[in-house]
Amino acid sequence: MSATSPVRPVLPPDILARKGGAPLVVLTAYSTPVARLVDAHCDMVLVGDSVGMVIHGLPSTLGVTMEMMILHGQAVVRGTQKAMPIIDMPFGSYEESPQQAYRNAARLMAETGAPCVKLEGGQHMAETIAFLTARGVPVMAHIGLTPQAVNTLGGYKVVGRAAEAEKVMADALAVEAAGAFSVVLEKVPEGLSRRVTERLSIPTIGIGAGVHCDGQVLVVDDMLGLFTDFRPKFVKRYAELGKAADEAIAAYAADVRARAFPAAEHSFPDELPVKK
């Protein structure tokens, strides 16, 4: 490909074809500038409903609306050229029926330009996934810990230990059979996620599910350390930007109070110098 050739975007069939190959790299993004940074290094960019907690300060993902997902989805799609944007379907937008799910998935794709959606749920969502995929909506599934069901699950806990393992495996097989092109495994024991990955013919994307998945996803704000008081066990901090930002803002505030900013080099003189 020449230097002037357009970059071909990643699409769901490309992700499916990566099963068992080089690990897939996924991060979240909620804005155009961050999407541009992520696009340069990742295979997929997830516009997660985690935007509700990360950007809007909500206590959970349950208050996220279609309008929020569309707004942030549009921003992320503008910032991507190569990596594939994926839009989360928010709570209440798909659980009622396959028909409701199709209307909202079609709206997300049409209004953002994203080529696929992600939804939570295993066996009980298989009919909906099949309905969507048969009508041209590629679906990434999400099983294990499903944050939209946190009130039913009783918290953000590991899912799939002991007797639960059979259900997680059944969920994985169900979403694969329904036509999902990949599946997120969240907070699933490492041994189980390995068995699921080996059993499925579609890629698994882990978050807190160990190293044996076909790819990994993290919330970008977590791995950059933008939250100084939030450290999930499954997140590796690759930077401490929250601390750096706090120090920079404190320095700015001190300069303003001391009248050290703006200095002469940041100000405009009353008159322009006369040219000789």
Active site residues: 186
Sole residue written with tokens 């933008």:
226
The structure tokens listed for 217 are 């996803």
Asked whether residue 49 is marked as a ligand-binding residue, the answer is: yes
Helix-helix angle 164-178:126-134, to 10 degrees: 20
CA distance 130 to 14: 20
**Percentages helix, strand, coil for the chain, rounded to the nearest 5?**
40, 15, 45
Asked whether residue 120 is marked as a ligand-binding residue, the answer is: yes
- Say if CB 123 and CB 171 are below 8 A apart: yes
Which of these, 126, 148, 122, lies nearest to 50 by C-alpha position?
A: 148
The structure tokens listed for 66 are 């279609």
CA distance 135 to 113: 17
Asked whether residue 270 is marked as a ligand-binding residue, the answer is: no
Asked whether residue 255 is marked as a ligand-binding residue, the answer is: no
**Residue partners of 116: CB distance under 8 A and separation at least 6:** 12, 84, 86, 87, 109, 137, 138, 139, 140, 181
Asked whether residue 50 is marked as a ligand-binding residue, the answer is: yes
Annotated binding-site ranges? 49-50, 88, 118, 120
Annotated binding-site ranges for Mg(2+)? 49, 88, 120
Annotated binding-site ranges for 3-methyl-2-oxobutanoate? 49-50, 88, 118
